[in-house]
Amino acid sequence: MQTRNKFFDDMSQMMTNAMGVAQGAKGEAENAAKSLMDRWLADRDFVTREEFDAVRAMAEKARLENAALSARLDALETKKKSPARKSAAKKT
């Protein structure tokens, strides 16, 4: 027959309570750390992902427009140089 020892019952109950307190403290520490990190990031003026993607799209569009304008300018410069060479060739 097994007998119950009051000391072991009390120790078991105390350990169970201590584990509950430790888990509660862990949750509070995680929330406090997350809150601190959120405040720190907000103070640093970091951009959101949406803002970053919008600016990146604008930059990509500007790059494409720049390339198109550069090609157009090259075509116009080539066109301008071509008649000058022909007239110079006729004079000689």
pTM above 0.75, yes or no: no
pLDDT band at 84 (very low <50, low <70, confident <90, very high): low
Sign of the C-alpha dihedral, residues 59, 61, 65, 68? positive
5 — alpha (psi -120 to 50), left (phi > 0) or beta?
beta
Return the domain boundaries, the chain: 16-46, 47-92
Written as one letter, the residue type at 48 is T
Extract the tokens encoding 84. Answer: 């000058």
φ/ψ of residue 79, rounded to 5:
-65, -40
Residue 90 is predicted with a pLDDT of 61
DSSP 44: T
Higher pLDDT, 17 or 3: 17
CA 4 to chain centre: 59
DSSP 64: H
User: What's the CA dihedral at 45, 48, 53, 58 to 10 degrees?
Assistant: -40
pLDDT band at 85 (very low <50, low <70, confident <90, very high): low
